[in-house]
Amino acid sequence: MSALLELEGVDKSFGALKVSDDITFSLPKGQALGIIGPNGAGKSTLFNLIGGTLPVSSGAIRFDGADITRMPASSRCRMGISRSFQIPHPFVGMSVYENLLVASAFGNADHHDAEAACRDILDVTGLLARANRPAGSLTLLERKRLELARALASNPRLLLLDEIAGGLTEGECHDLVGTIQGIRDQGVSIIWIEHIVHALTAVVERLIVIDFGKIVAEGAPDAVMSDPFVQEIYMGISVDDDAA
Ligand SMILES: Nc1ncnc2c1ncn2[C@@H]1O[C@H](COP(=O)(O)OP(=O)(O)OP(=O)(O)O)[C@@H](O)[C@H]1O
């Protein structure tokens, strides 16, 4: 399977603080990849580097074979990289549907039938009944769904999801996982940062663990989550305590 996204030796520093440290991985087309790691490990920063809202300090990023390392975020979006943000910031005075039309117009200039595409996305994301409501009136789950819908409106080949399940109830989380599985099954490649590991592992085929800006573990979700080192850094389970 050919790579859709490749990161090679990517570093990012804020002054003396190195937040991404020699990050190298590739995402095959159609794969769903999960990223976990403690708070402040550098996960969202990695999305900012892939999406182009932050420049790398060094290293290279390729998308579908093209070097996008210095490309602006808007061009990356039009190439097919789209993301949701940890804290949704919709245009609160506009309707749900209008929010989607804006995202579609921005990320998908060639779209011939944006209105029909937006209706389909509202359906897929479970927002059809809310289409004419002001985005500011939505519940947290609906805002998360709108965040996902806005990301889909630019017709992505790579969808970056940043803690989209955070703050939801167990039932809401379960429903959202079903929606994301449906998007994955349509062939959209996904990278999902999430602290709710059981939601993540219901969707992704591979996990990467980041700690202090470095990739410290990578592989099949079961193998990664049962790695004692990962349990120690991520869940606070001391390997020594466990053995005692
Ligand atoms: N623009 C910035 N300027 C300076 N420091 C920053 C900037 N953005 C992020 N950082 C720092 O980089 C580190 C990594 O932040 P980042 O948000 O990427 O972590 P994270 O793994 O996504 O955390 P969380 O799980 O809490 O969302 C943190 O110490 C943060 O304070």
Atom of ligand 1 nearest to the CA of 41: 21
Residue 84 has pLDDT above 80, yes or no: yes
Residue 236 has pLDDT above 90, yes or no: no
Helix (H) or strand (E) holding 74: helix 73-79
Query: Is 95 among the domain residues?
Result: no
Q: Which class for 227: exposed (0-12), middle (13-18), buried (19 or more C-beta within 10 A)?
A: middle
In total, how many domains does the chain have? 1
Residue 109 has pLDDT above 80, yes or no: no
Is the distance from CB of 93 to CB of 80 less than 8 angstroms?
A: no
Can you say how many angstroms the Cα of residue 234 is from the centroid of all Cα atoms in its chain? 19
Which tens digits make up the pLDDT trace of 3-43?
999 999 999 999 999 999 999 999 999 999 999 999 999 99
Query: Is 234 among the domain residues?
Result: yes
Provide the CATH number for the domain around residue 216: 3.40.50.300
Which tens digits make up the pLDDT trace of 181-224?
999 999 999 999 999 999 999 999 999 999 999 999 999 999 99
How far apart (Å, rounded) are the C-alpha atoms in residues 124 and 208?
Answer: 28
SS3 per-residue string spanning 168-220: CCHHHHHHHHHHHHHHHHCCCEEEEECCCHHHHHCCCCEEEEEECCEEEEEEC
What per-residue confidence (pLDDT) applies to 106? Answer: 73
Residue 244 has pLDDT above 50, yes or no: no
Atom of ligand 1 nearest to the CA of 46: 18
Atom of ligand 1 nearest to the CA of 213: 14
What per-residue confidence (pLDDT) applies to 238? Answer: 59
Which residues sit with their C-beta closer than 6 Å to ligand 1? 14, 19, 37, 39-45
Query: Is 125 among the domain residues?
Result: no
For residues 53-70, average pLDDT: 97
Query: Is 92 among the domain residues?
Result: no
What per-residue confidence (pLDDT) applies to 105? Answer: 80
Query: Is 47 among the domain residues?
Result: yes
Cα 59 to ligand 1 centre (Å): 19
Query: Is 45 among the domain residues?
Result: yes
- Please give the ipTM for the structure prediction: 0.94
For residues 81-95, average pLDDT: 89
What per-residue confidence (pLDDT) applies to 85? Answer: 85
Q: Whose CA is nearest to atom 28 of ligand 1?
A: 40
What per-residue confidence (pLDDT) applies to 234? Answer: 73
Is the distance from CB of 66 to CB of 37 less than 8 angstroms?
A: no
DSSP-derived secondary structure letter, 49: H
The domain of 62 spans: 1-77+191-244
CA nearest to 91, candidates 37, 46, 153, 184: 153
Query: Is 46 among the domain residues?
Result: yes
What per-residue confidence (pLDDT) applies to 243? Answer: 44
Binned at pLDDT 50, 70 and 90, residue 2 comes out as: confident
202 Cβ contact partners less than 8 Å away, ≥ 6 residues apart: 177, 181
What per-residue confidence (pLDDT) applies to 114? Answer: 80
How far apart (Å, rounded) are the C-alpha atoms in residues 156 and 191?
Answer: 12
Binned at pLDDT 50, 70 and 90, residue 97 comes out as: very high
Per-residue b/e over 82-104, b at no fewer than 16 CB within 10 Å?
A: bbbbeebebeeeebbbbbbbbbb
Query: Is 36 among the domain residues?
Result: yes
What is the CA angle 177-179-182, rounded to 5?
A: 110
Cα 47 to ligand 1 centre (Å): 11
Binned at pLDDT 50, 70 and 90, residue 107 comes out as: low
20 Cβ contact partners less than 8 Å away, ≥ 6 residues apart: 10, 11, 12, 42, 45, 46, 49, 56, 57, 213
Percent of the chain residues topping a pLDDT of 90: 80
